[in-house]
Amino acid sequence: MDLSDLRHLAIIMDGNGRWAKSRGWRRTRGHRAGVDSVRNCVTECARAGLPWLTLYALSTENYRARPATEVRTLMALLRRFMIDERPTLMENRVRLETAGRLDELPDKVVRTIRETEAMTAGNSGMTLCLALNYGGRSELADAAKEIARSVKSGKLDLEAVDEAALAARLYQPKMPDVDLLIRTAGEVRISNFLLWQVSYAEIWVTETCWPDFRKPQLEAAVTAFRRRSRRFGGLLPEETK
């Protein structure tokens, strides 16, 4: 698979619950199946040479508003993934990063995530960023607070507050702008995901639920992306005539 024209692919992995319910199963079974899709997608993207992949694994709203049993299952799956996938991440030279308010997650889960981050920190291949207890508005509010603190303490001049100053205070300052945003399971919404970074992203939505997302869907998304003309607010050369 050729992903050479992408720097950053971001995915809203939706539809685990619907996938399971439509088969008469519990929602948590959908999350379990979703982990297989995560493994598959990470491996495909890493092997295709993608520089950066961000997966929306848990929004702040998911964490606060889902039933406790479902959140417990998600935490357990996440911790297991962090341990079980270490050999695959190392083999594919994937560096793990996170974005979100991790301090609100259970200590045991955070410790395991930190261990995997440390273990993979020297890998030079794809960066896999998991958005966990993540909200785009919280990210911007946290960055604004950081800026206010720096201005107040005299470390930052008010006149130097610009887009670059804000971008430097996001959860992952090195994260490139999103080129392609994929959402599974049909809803056409951003759902508070990477609000700053998706400003010029191409958006591709599929009816396929996340547990069924595999290479053919990924290829379809990338093919659609290549057909788009990205103007970034400007004009294409032939449009200026």
Contact 110, 132 (CB under 8 A): no
Q: Is 73 in the site for ligand FPP (CB under 6 A)?
A: no
CA 3 to the chain's CA centroid: 17
The CB-of-214 to ligand FPP minimum distance in angstroms stands at: 14
Q: Is 140 in the site for ligand FPP (CB under 6 A)?
A: no
Of 169 and 193, the one with the shorter C-beta distance to ligand FPP is 193
What distance in Å separates the CA atoms of residue 98 and residue 116, rounded to the nearest whole number?
A: 11
Residue 14 annotated to the active site: yes
The CB-of-23 to ligand FPP minimum distance in angstroms stands at: 12
Kindly name the residue from 2, 5, 16, 62 that is annotated as catalytic: 62
Kindly name the residue from 2, 5, 14, 179 that is annotated as catalytic: 14
Of 45 and 57, the one with the shorter C-beta distance to ligand FPP is 57
**DSSP conformational letter for 178:** P
Q: Is 123 in the site for ligand FPP (CB under 6 A)?
A: no
Residue 192 annotated to the active site: no
Q: Is 35 in the site for ligand FPP (CB under 6 A)?
A: yes
The CB-of-58 to ligand FPP minimum distance in angstroms stands at: 6
At residue 116's C-alpha, the angle toward residues 62 and 165, to 5°, is 65
What is the residue type of 138?
S
Sole binder of ligand FPP in the list 99, 126, 130, 181 (CB under 6 A): 130
What distance in Å separates the CA atoms of residue 40 and residue 44, rounded to the nearest whole number?
A: 6
Q: Is 126 in the site for ligand FPP (CB under 6 A)?
A: no
Sole binder of ligand FPP in the list 46, 57, 129, 131 (CB under 6 A): 57
How many residues contact ligand FPP, by CB under 6 A? 21
What distance in Å separates the CA atoms of residue 190 and residue 188, rounded to the nearest whole number?
A: 7
DSSP of 185-230: SS----TTSSTTTTTT-EEEE-SS-GGG--HHHHHHHHHHHHHS--
Catalytic residues: 14, 62
